[in-house]
Structures are given as structure tokens and as C-alpha cells.
Amino acid sequence: MYANKSNTNTLTKHAEWAGCTHSRMTVMESIDCLDQLIDESDPDVDFPNSFHAFQTAEGIRREHPDKDWFQLVGLIHDIGKIMALWGEPQWAVVGDTYPVGCRFQNSIVFRETTFVENPDDKNSSLNTECGIYKTNCGLENVFMSWGHDEYLYQVMKFNKCPIPEEGLYMIRFHSFYPWHSHGNYMHLCNEKDLKMLPWVKEFNKFDLYTKSTELPDVEQLKPYYQSLIDKYCPGVLSW
């Protein structure tokens, strides 16, 4: 888990990645790329992230068999980590996320040690409860620290994938632990955010607790999940 991302860094990475000009591939091809990635920030996993994708999806499928979009989100939620295969260091891709442009809350992982040289922490205009934002402005108007969550969210929006809003919140905020696990940053939330929060919490049960050294038979599962990809994220996407 990593921190120390600043407002300036976030805006730079938005400009660099949110235009989806780095590659073109299908969703299943992008999942296959995760065979090459082991998340160094995750103490529970020492196998490629592609297996975690199917473990999460299958956990959701067992408890929510009627919500195919939810199952798909479980499969794709970590694909944004593909940036680590395209030159981004892992610390800039994985780990917990948090808002930039306002005071860093104490619940952010490694809060006391990794913001020492972060200029935002010494900027009086940013180092207040709301910073550059207004109370109840809504998380859609907040810049989150750049990482795999925000990148995949931007990819889904850019390619106009018809995933329900609940699923987009899961993708964008599943690493936002200060919010969904510690109850911080509620002053920035609007009614929509509070309505979506239980969905993010529900997703994180599967993200956290389906990890196992008993790895799924990916080839057997692929046809089913390809059908979900064809429904919600068909064809070749821009990344």
C-alpha cells in the first residue's frame, strides 16, 4: 500500500492517461496481461493479479447470481494496474486512494511517514478540511489520487461502457479505504455518494475475502465471462 500522491501529480496523470491513447485491446486481452503482474502492495497475494480477478468475480457470482454487471466488475476492477506494465512504477498504480486538494486524513495508510516531502501537506490553501472543494460537493467533483481505480473508471467512461452507476462507483472507489472503511471525507459527499456507499462496501467484501491459494480454472471460466464482456464492454477498447 502506498501514499504520497499530490494534486499536481494527479492532474498530470489525468492528462497523460485519461485520453486512452496508450493501446487498443479487448477486455479479455487486458485481463490476460495481468498474468504478468503481482501486486507488491498486497500482503495477501503472491500470484498474478489475473487469478484475483476471477476469484473476485466468482465470489460475487455465488452470492449475486442475478447481477451479471456486478460479476463483471469483480472481474475487471483491477485491470487499471496494467499501467505498471506500460512504464508506471507500482507505487503510482496500486495501493489505497484518497482525495487530493484538501487535508490528508489520518486514516490514509502511512499518513505519518510518506507525506513528509509532499508539497500539498505544507500548502495552507489545500491543507484545510475542504481545501479546493465545497461541503457536499459530491465525489464526482473531487480529484482522487491517481491509480488503477481512477484509470479503469476513465477507460470505461471513454469507451461508453454501459455499466450501471453502482458498478462504476465500485471501480472508481474500491481502494478509497479512508471513505468506505473509516468513514472519512463524508463532508465532501452528496446524497448520491451516500446512496452508492453500501454498494462499494458490498463489493469490497469480495475483493478482500475471496483471495485464496486455491486458484480457479481460468480457461473453464472464460466463456461465461466473455459473454458478460460482450454485453457491457464489447469489442476492442481504447486504453
Which residues does the annotation place in the binding site for Fe cation?
A: 52, 77-78, 148, 174, 207
Residues annotated in the binding site, as ranges? 52, 77-78, 148, 174, 207
Strand 237-238 relative to strand 24-25, pairing: antiparallel
- State how far the alpha carbon of 165 is from the alpha carbons of 110, 173, 196, in Å: 31, 12, 8
175 phi/psi in degrees, rounded to 5:
-100, 5
Q: Return the percent helix, strand and coil in the chain, to nearest 5.
A: 55, 5, 45
| Collapsed DSSP state (helix, strand, coil) of residue 130 | coil
**Residue 133, C-beta contacts closer than 8 angstroms, at least 6 positions apart:** 99, 101, 102, 141, 142, 188
